[in-house]
Structure 1
Amino acid sequence: MNRWRFQFPVTIGGRMNLTPGSTYQVVSKQPETDPDILRRDRGEWIGREYGTIPQGFPELRTLANALTKDAENDFDKASAITSYLQNLDYDDRAESPLQPSTDLHRFVIGELPGSAIDFASALPLMARSAGLQSRVATGYLPGEYNSYSGAIKITPEDAHAWSEIYFRGAGWIPFDASTRPDLPTPAELEEAPPSGLSSLLDRRLGDGLAAAAGKTPGAVMKGFEFAVKNGLNWGLFALVAFGFTAVVVWYLFFYRKSESARHVKFDYLTVDGNDRKAVIAAFVSAEKHLAKNGFRRRMENESYREYAFAAQLFAGDDAEALNWLADTASRAAFSSASISADQTISALDHAKDLRSKIS
């Protein structure tokens, strides 16, 4: 019996450790998904660790070679292996999606169902047998959308594993062979509501207006071309184009300057529920007091916990109370669970104590 598996880290490094109840924001890169582009690309050797095959899997090598013998390019090789694995059964009774649930060989030949990590482990083994650099990746499914803030709640049950194959031009491309029943469909992903983060990023004036300014000449020329083709009054068009350009310039150099002096407002400052609003207002009052006494206000896109973490030295002995208040404000903003009156009263008391002690 060959029970080969990938090993995973149990901690997450970085500026702050993630604990149950943590909230965080992520900006990710959208990988290339156009099959025509990937078929013109090709795999490339980048490291021994992505091509090593453990001993004891000759059947998988034979199967991989049989599946890919007619493939004309590396993308079709990866697709052939993925398609084969997608015919296998998923073990929905597995202890965890990231725990192997069976012998890998018996899983690949279809004798037993497998967990997400079994699918994600089998694909790289077979891909490496076909000469493709590959690895296992782990992460989470989309989770539960929270209409209060646009945030998404992630639980251990949302953990998932998939495979990635390296292409010379496109880099690491994900291939998910798992047949777990709760995987979101492409239609569900398209219909998913925009997150609070995405709407927040859409309102980042610096980036948005710089892009608008950069596109203004092109937009004017497109409009000019339209006017020529459709016989519109050029004078009227020129007036409109000039007015539009003037508005953009005013927005960039005058309005933005006045806006930048204002405190950033997140979506979660307008969440429903008086208790939620009161908890958030309590944190904001403590934040204002810290700024008044020599620290600073929360920076753009800085969460409550990040701000409290940065203010620990300044808060001194009151750092624990500030962290508690930040945790409670984060739950009020991002968790779908209700906020009790007792939590609200405690938050107000913590904020009052902070204002009286820090000076």
Structure 2
Amino acid sequence: MSTETNIRIVLAARPQGRPKPSDFRIESVGITQPGEGELLLQILYLSLDPYMRGRMNATKSYAKPVEIDGVMEGGTVAQVVRSRHAGFAEGDIVLSHSGWQGFALSDGVGLRKLDPAAAPVTTALGVLGMPGFTAYAGLLTIGQPKAGETVVVAAASGAVGSAVGQIARIKGARAVGIAGGADKCAFVRRELGFDAVVDHRADNFAEQLKAACPDGIDVYFENVGGPVWDAVFPLLNEFARVPVCGLIAQYNTIAASAADRLPTLMQQVLYRSLTIRGFIQREFVDQRPVFYRDMAGWMASGQVRYREDIVDGLENAPQAFLGLLEGRNFGKLIVRVAQ
């Protein structure tokens, strides 16, 4: 055990409803040196994403929950600082899944080397990483937008939603974004080039959305759920496709609503021949090489733009994450752990 110190953030308690700062704990522990076939990573950047809220629960899901006293999980960009692994040299920059901490041991499995000269390394956590791939695979595989169709996406200024709308336009569809607040709406319309954007905080949000979609909705990429879904659902056309990526408005819900709306939903799924499919991006892992090629090309040509919201200091990760769940971030939320 080294005298060097690793700062890490662990799950202190399972949230009851909305998470609180006390649900996290900051710890200082020694750094274990790498053994044969291992390498020591120093975390440079940590990705904060909505899915992490689900991992804080003990309920059965598509992935194992974070254990109490376990390091909060998350994607990271890291630098190899010590290596006893033949495939990695000191100084290599890698994409890893090392979680909320300053240093991590790795056996090399699951690491991907990054080329800082090809793109800013932070994009491996956003537009050229899991969020961008989620948008790409979910939209093109499940949504299958066609030229002239209307594609609507919630959380349109975020890492996934911003990519969904821009890819939809590349495929010849009309992109309508839903975002919260005037600044985010202006960014979606002016910087990302969506055809229309609607503020979900507006008192007449449902009416504005209907006006923005005069021909109905052919593809709705679901990131939010809740009241946004309520406004979208009546506008879905026959044979509409709904990739369900996230339900951030419902992650903190303790008890389900007393009203049972499932019979009405299923009736309309039948009457309108709707396709509603949840997905996890890893289901489409075989598409990743094509995604990297396509997205890199779109970024180089200016067809896809992105925005990052960078917070300095690992100790600020819990508060930044709570803000993410409330929509306070603007773009892909990343914590700069070290220079």
TM range (shorter): under 0.3
- TM-score (ref. length: structure 1): 0.22
User: Which is richer in helix?
Assistant: 1
Q: Which has the higher contact order (CA 8 A, sep 6+)?
A: 2
- TM-score (ref. length: structure 2): 0.23
User: Which is richer in strand?
Assistant: 2
Q: Could you say which structure has the larger radius of gyration?
A: 1
